[in-house]
Amino acid sequence: MDLFLMTVTSGVMVGGIYALVALGWVLIYKCSGVLNLAMGEMTLIGAYISLSFYSMGVPFVLALLLSLVIGFFLGVLTERIFLDRLIGEPVLTVIMVTVGLSFFFKGCVELIWGTDTRVFTPEVFSIEPLKIGPVVVGEVYLWSFIAAITLLVIFVCFFKYTRWGLAMQATADDEMAALSIGISARFVYAIAWAIAFMAAGVGGTLLGNINGLNISVGYLGLLVLPAVVLGGLNSVPGAIAGGIIIGVLQNLCGTYLDRYFPGAVKEVAPFMFMAIFLLFKPYGLWGWERIERV
């Protein structure tokens, strides 16, 4: 039972980070109907920016805030340069552009930072585990979870209570109606990409503190996809729930199935679960069901 509790607790904490990255997927899909396949590389860029500042002696919290600022401007710049002219074009065209962006971003990371694994030195979090009742949790997991949930709360409040957030929701619900009342779709798309870049960067930074940072962290963007699909492609609460569910599922499979199926059960399980889940709930837990009448 103690092992089960520790496995579930660690899964929930890693799932909080997955939820943060999933938020970026959901934002872009809600506003434009596009699956951003460059999300993993956006995660990678934000993480390396934080690591660069931290390596220069900047305190970790300040390095994280600076990476958020830079991520905001990189998101706006990406949307303006590569995607602004594609507004109104077929969705498949935009998706293929994001595939090209993923290769472009990965090449930039390899050119600037290389491909070797790098760690945050000195360590940001103590390696001494924390004991909470019968559960033993690594400090890096606990603080990463707290940071992820804090940012998720901030982003949710932004969507519900700020003018920009409400404009984004209006555009997602009905773009033509939003345009008719003076909301700029170009502005909304730029903000969506900016926030997605920020969320991805923080998620990558937190994961980099857990496992070290290298080019393979970009795989996170694909790993988060089952969480996005599970919660619903256009649901912010769904992204949070989906991230936590996938985090727990991944940890349980790693703990109990790896001994019988050595290899990549932990990595494959979320995609197997997603495929089976879609057979029964094609729109996810909280996704919008589209009904077309002819």
Q: Residue 105 — very low, low, confident or very high, per pLDDT cuts 50/70/90?
A: very high
pLDDT in tens, 17-32: 888 888 888 888 877 7
Residues 6 or more apart whose CB falls under 8 angstroms from that of 140 comprise 124, 125, 209, 210
Cis bond before residue 59 (omega within 30° of 0): no
pTM: 0.86
Helices (H), 162-184: 163-173, 175-180
Structure tokens at 174: 């009905």
Report domain extents, the chain.
Answer: 2-280
pLDDT in tens, 210-259: 878 888 887 776 788 888 888 888 777 888 888 889 989 988 888 888 87
Q: Which fold has domain 2-280?
A: ABC transporter involved in vitamin B12 uptake, BtuC (1.10.3470)
pLDDT in tens, 26-61: 888 877 777 888 888 899 999 999 999 999 989 998
- Tokens 């932004």 correspond to 158
Does 291 have pLDDT greater than 60? no
CA count, 13 A, side-chain hemisphere, 73: 6
Gap between the Cα atoms of 143 and 132, Å rounded? 14
For residue 56, the model assigns a pLDDT of 92
> In terms of Cα–Cα distance, which of 136, 155, 191 is closest to 8?
136
Does 290 have pLDDT greater than 70? no
> In terms of Cα–Cα distance, which of 47, 25, 41 is closest to 102?
41
Structure tokens at 286: 């909280």
